[in-house]
Structure 1
């Protein structure tokens, strides 16, 4: 069956509204947990820095950053000179001493919201929550980390990611010049949507999806379905192992770094550097926090989602730059691509 090119190279409108909806479910539980932890009460006593809040509430820096980002973006807090203050709305409705306190509303809704209690546990204990629909207590990120993800989970997750990012992949392919890259290693590439879109735009480009074996089985199905086998293939591998395939002059990551904590990101950056020849390029497709790490709102919400289910967070461009430059990369660039997402790139000298 021949492929009929779409009338438009990528969706005519972005999917920000759906991303807003996707991350909005975390907002209310975040407010409920912040209330239960006593955040608003301690800020009524005095304005505090992010580190002081973490110490007072006995939270890790990752959870504290995400919580404050969500609440600042929602305008329950303001940040001035690194200190956080209550807004008038918070003073009136989020303090137990106020006659307008929403405490009873929170008490009722926390019983109805799937996630308030697990979110609180994840923040306090720095533990990820079990994946939705799983019978065991093992989290999704535990499965990815061990390389032992089961086939059903791999299939469901890969199909979900394809639905989320197929439009973004086509936008990326339409908007960037892949330059001198002729062989691209798409690390943790899932369905291969970005490689497939890039290969359609660049007929001389060859791409390999490197992912866990159960994922690669699903990848092959997408490659066949989208008639991409002439330019795209899949190979099982683990990005945390130093034994990467050779012969590639570009490495690509879509929403991979945000799943992992800093040390893991730095390891993957170093592995990328070692795998590339001089002049090779690295590309990271991510939703970026601003340099204050207090927003934008949807990105802060996405970061709280990472606290809940994964072991990472959304990073700012400055943080990603640090990972790449410390690994040896130069010529760091950031470009907004589609909706909330940006492409970070750098070169091996």
Structure 2
């Protein structure tokens, strides 16, 4: 019993300082977003600068630059030398500077700060079940707003390109000729898979406003002859039949829980024998202790999809087996955040 108690409490906190770091964590994230909005990390990409030089380059008053850079240094995003010169941390240099090929600052700046962050203000009302009638309570409601759909889709595309390339390396689709990307957004993962597998032709299902934006990315990728869109709600529209592979990325955690098994059934019915279903999403461990990023993203989704389900690998694999699938693989896709479950329909 003691061993179980030790395991069960190994991630719990004990001190007031630890509690404060959680309670005030929003201040650290907002300092990151503020740095992105004034482009500090890009300005510092070519080397250290003084606060005065940063103020001149960004057009921000010196007192505000000093306070912001001090905050950013305190959380490890910047470094400040004894001579008061300021430079990027390795993570900021590699992932927050527009000069970096791995930059995903736009994703953080636009989607996380401007959209996801405000949604958490709904969380208390969601927990008590008293959301106002005009509150956003589903993806389908949210994506009817053309401007919001544009901001979300443009930034999500940048955030999905890297995972899409990882997915293309992890799953062998060399024998597949058709792919159905359900809730595929602007096609970032479809583009990665089509680039890896030249014989693959894809269909993406997503809301009309998203499909319109996605078509531009498909055109820029020179894939207009291999990719088509079906504009609509993926839960409601008819899916094309006899597909070699189906992808659901970030879909199941963002729909009402009652729809998840329905999506699995539609996938089984749509796949050809031997076909693969790839589910990429935020999934927590069976013991419900983490990973923290997966658990927090599930909480985020619940803030605007109150009936969302907390996904775990164990529950999902068992649900898939009930529909007739075999489990081919379970792996991490984004470490400590997302999982990839690959199902196969028996031949």
TM-score, with length taken from structure 1: 0.62
Q: Distance between the aligned counterparts of 2:18 and 2:227, measured in 1?
A: 55
| 1:265 counterpart (245, 248, 260) | 260
Q: 2:157–2:188: 8 Å Cα contact kept in structure 1?
A: yes
Mark the CA change 1:156 to 1:80 in structure 2 (over 3 Å): closer, same or farther: same
Q: 1:174 is matched with which residue?
A: 169
Q: Following the alignment from structure 1 to structure 2, what is the Cα–Cα distance between the partners of residues 115 and 272?
A: 30
Q: Alignment RMSD, CA only?
A: 3.3
The 1:140–1:79 alpha-carbon spacing in structure 2 relative to 1, beyond 3 Å, is farther
Q: For residue 329 of structure 2, give the secondary structure of its aligned residue in structure 1.
A: strand
Q: What runs of 5+ residues in structure 1 fail to find an aligned partner?
A: 1-77, 95-101, 131-135
Q: Is 1:238 the equivalent of 2:242?
A: no
Distance apart, 1:341 and its partner CA: 2.7
Seen in structure 2, the aligned counterparts of structure 1 residues 171 and 205 have a Cα distance that, compared at 3 Å, is same
Identify the residue that residue 219 of structure 1 maps to in structure 2: 214
Aligned residue pair count = 249
- In structure 1, distance between residues paired with 2:18 and 2:280: 39
Deviations 1:293-315 (A, max 9, x none): 22111112112111212242551
**Per-residue deviation, 1:316:** 1.3
Alignment of 1:135-154 (within 5 A): 136-143=134-141, 149-154=144-149
Name the SS for the 1:269 alignment partner: helix
Structure ranking higher on relative contact order (CA contacts 8 Å, 6+ apart): 1
Quote the Cα distance in structure 2 between the aligned partners of 1:263 and 1:238.
16
CA gap of 1:310–1:227, structure 2 versus 1, over 3 A, is: same
| Selected match of 2:292 from 292, 297, 306 | 297
Could you tell me how far apart the structure 1 residues matched to 2:300 and 2:328 are? 27
Q: 1:292, 1:164 → 2: CA distance?
A: 29
Change (3 A) 1:85 1:151: closer
The answer to whether the 8 A contact 1:210-1:238 is kept is: yes
Q: What is the Cα deviation at residue 166 of structure 1?
A: 1.0
CA shift in 2, pair 1:82/1:199, >3 Å? same
Task: Return 5+ residue gaps in structure 2 as ranges.
Answer: 31-116
TM-score (norm 2): 0.63
Matched with 1:118 is 122
Equivalent-residue separation in structure 2 for 1:347 and 1:224 (angstroms): 31
Distance 1:114 1:232, change over 3 A: closer
Structure 2 residue 200 is the aligned partner of structure 1 residue 205 = yes
Q: In the TM superposition, what whole-angstrom CA distance separates every residue of 1:35-89 from its partner, at most 9, and x where no partner exists?
A: xxxxxxxxxxxxxxxxxxxxxxxxxxxxxxxxxxxxxxxxxxx977989997532
